[in-house]
Structure 1
Amino acid sequence: MSPKTTPLRVAVLAGGDSEEREISLKSGQAVADALTETGHQVLQLDPAIVDVAGIDWSQFDVAFVALHGSFGEDGQVQHILDEAGVRYTGSGAVASRLAFSKSAAKEQFELFGVPTPAFTTIHYNDDLNEIRKKAEEIGYPLVVKPDTQGSSLGVSIVRNPAQLTGALRTCFQFDSVGIIEAMIEGTEWTVGLIDLQVLPAIKIETDRPFYDWQAKYEDNQTRYVFDSGVPADVVESLERVAWNACSAIGTSGLARVDLRLDAQNQAWVLEINTIPGFTDHSLLPKAAARVGIDFPVLCDRIVRSCLRKSITAHRHEVQLRPHVLLTPRERAHH
């Protein structure tokens, strides 16, 4: 057998004890089923039950990290796997930690010239009047969100000062640190990346006030649009900005970038998900299917891709990559 067809021993890490546990379990099951279908030997491991640091990793060729939220996306499990000398899917510990903190990621975006909405950080112990002043400086409407949380948990759109206190209460249920961010009126988009390949941009349409938890996981009326009617050069700019956002953070393997497109067709990066959903209904798999990569092939490609890295590659990832304002097509020729 060639390396491209040799079955691998894969540990699928899913579950955990974050707020996104149930979504992670669904992702992990879908990945395990897909990898089994493509001939791999698969064992599912739940860090809420099994001590990841205590696993005999010599019995596995690779770990597929399908842990959403804390411990999975914040660099903790990546650090453990690095110490154990395990190859694993996705970004390394540094990039994961940067992306998981919205404020840290946005600081990187600003440093590298990636457009992101104006923001300020807040803490649950901050004086309410000081927070109100910060909100006024950002300007209404604005968004209040936890600094480290996914799936839109704890996020509120605040259109006037009277709504601020309730939004802060919601935010601080999920994190002691939050951000106040300028609201970008416009349309919601997401762009997935696999290695050096930028997948087609998806426009997200919902009848809800914004793309919240219910719109993502419960509302069957949420629409995911490829043929949006938006000019090709605008879509290309979305993909360019998504690429540059990932370059600024230093992601690897795979990622999904969430953006807003304003009335002037300017793309604004909201955040990067280093471990996007992996069910066959999730956005990155939808984009991969659009270019002919079905779900089992996608999962197989992801595990084989990380094997091309040396075991120490994640440990020594460069934190700050050179920033290049190139399209994916231009980048491929450099």
Structure 2
Amino acid sequence: MKIAVLMGGTSAERDVSLASGLAITKALRERGHEVSVVDTAAGFVAQAEEQDLLPGGVKSAPPENLDRALPLIDIGQIEQLRNAEIAFLALHGGDGEDGTVQALLELVGVPYTGSGPLGSGIAMDKDVTKRLLRDSQVPTLPWRVARWPDFTYDPDTIEDLVGMPCIVKPARGGSSVGIHVVNDRAELEAAVRDASQYDREVMIERFAKGRELTVGILDDQALPPVEIRPKKGIYDYESKYTPGMTEYLCPAPLDEEVVAQVQAYALRAFKVLKLRGYARIDFILAKEQLFCLEANTLPGMTATSLLPKGAAATGIDFPELCDRIVRQAAR
């Protein structure tokens, strides 16, 4: 098939997106597909120049001061994209994960991988996600949101309803960019101010110490859970993308009842958030209670990312996983 892999862009997750996109491109070519690379910040990238996109791999901190992305209409006019049978979305954050690019592709008539505009927009917004999870009896931690322009919040409400310590993070974003663990009121204001650089809404959520788990969804089936054990306490950007800073166990060493429950919650979240194709749903297991944290509609897709780990545990290697996602989108 003729496939255009969309990657890059100018979100804080650009480097992660490039790593995913280049890995997907290699895997799809191994499966015999004709693959073109499109960087949504620059346009079509010739095959001889692809490896220059991410020299040295993903750094331990997100990139800063990125140039403006191509206007969406220009992306829609790129020949390699318009002529593709499938667009494989390897974008993380920004327009690529909030439903905007998905809506554009529907307008220009190019089928694409992953969720549609509505599901993408819902899952990108952690506040809306948690409201839907709560109403669907998927347990989630208490939270409040501070909003643009002044990002005000009531410290008493935070202490009473959310509690200390708490997590502060952009309400729309991924890769743990702008995340903080706050231990008291004195730290809260600075954390909210920093997170507000990345989004117009900042989430303040109860911190639950426990086992971090994630469940991939593929073809409406829940994959084996992966347990994430960061070596420095919090699974932040550095822990995610610096080799050796996090241990991953797949399948996670859990009782059968817990596995069944977390997979059931993951599938329920997948459906209620109106997702399709594939996704990854994150949880915390704290004091024998599961809490759903968020959904990732375009999870990391390198050979060592979390969704591929879950797929590998069922005998699906990375090239086959990419191929299945493409054929699923074609259907």
Report the counterpart of residue 167 of structure 1 in structure 2.
191
**Quick check: 1:21 aligned with 2:44?**
no
Counterparts in 2 of 1:135 and 1:126: CA distance versus 1, 3 Å? farther
Report the counterpart of residue 315 of structure 2 in structure 1.
292
CA RMSD of aligned residues (A): 1.4
Equivalence map 1:189-268=2 (5 Å): 189-263=213-287, 265-268=288-291
Do 2:126 and 2:172's aligned partners in 1 also have CA atoms closer than 8 Å? yes
Do 1:145 and 1:156's aligned partners in 2 also have CA atoms closer than 8 Å? yes
Q: Out of 129, 133, 153, which is 2:177 matched to?
A: 153
Percentage of pairs with the same residue: 41
TM-score (norm 1): 0.86
Q: Could you give the per-residue CA deviations for residues 213-243 of structure 1, whole angstroms, max 9, x where no partner exists? A: 1110014131111254321111211111111
Deviation of residue 102 (structure 1)?
0.6
Deviation of residue 170 (structure 1)?
1.9
**Uncovered stretches (5+) of structure 2, i.e. residues with no partner:** 44-73
Counterparts in 2 of 1:19 and 1:58: CA distance versus 1, 3 Å? closer
Q: For 1:44 and 1:121, locate their aligned partners in 2 and report how far apart those are by CA, in whole Å.
A: 37
Do 2:182 and 2:188's aligned partners in 1 also have CA atoms closer than 8 Å? yes
**Quick check: 1:44 aligned with 2:37?**
yes
Q: For 1:209 and 1:169, locate their aligned partners in 2 and report how far apart those are by CA, in whole Å.
A: 23
Do 1:241 and 1:267's aligned partners in 2 also have CA atoms closer than 8 Å? no
Do 1:120 and 1:181's aligned partners in 2 also have CA atoms closer than 8 Å? yes
**Quick check: 1:35 aligned with 2:35?**
no
Structure 1 runs of 4+ with >3 Å offset: 124-128
**Quick check: 1:86 aligned with 2:79?**
no
Counterparts in 2 of 1:134 and 1:127: CA distance versus 1, 3 Å? farther
* Aligned-partner residue type, residue 30 of structure 1: A
**Uncovered stretches (5+) of structure 1, i.e. residues with no partner:** 1-7, 309-334
Q: For 1:228 and 1:256, locate their aligned partners in 2 and report how far apart those are by CA, in whole Å.
A: 15
* Aligned-partner residue type, residue 300 of structure 2: G
Report the counterpart of residue 78 of structure 2 in structure 1.
55
Indicate the larger mover: 38-47 or 173-182: 173-182
Indicate the larger mover: 246-255 or 51-60: 51-60
Deviation of residue 58 (structure 1)?
4.8
TM-score (norm 2): 0.87
Report the counterpart of residue 68 of structure 1 in structure 2.
92
Do 1:122 and 1:131's aligned partners in 2 also have CA atoms closer than 8 Å? no
Do 2:9 and 2:39's aligned partners in 1 also have CA atoms closer than 8 Å? yes
Q: For 1:96 and 1:21, locate their aligned partners in 2 and report how far apart those are by CA, in whole Å.
A: 18
Q: Could you give the per-residue CA deviations for residues 143-176 of structure 1, whole angstroms, max 9, x where no partner exists? A: 1110111100111111222221221122112112
Counterparts in 2 of 1:58 and 1:185: CA distance versus 1, 3 Å? closer
Q: For 2:151 and 2:7, locate their aligned partners in 1 and report how far apart those are by CA, in whole Å.
A: 39
**Quick check: 1:307 aligned with 2:330?**
yes
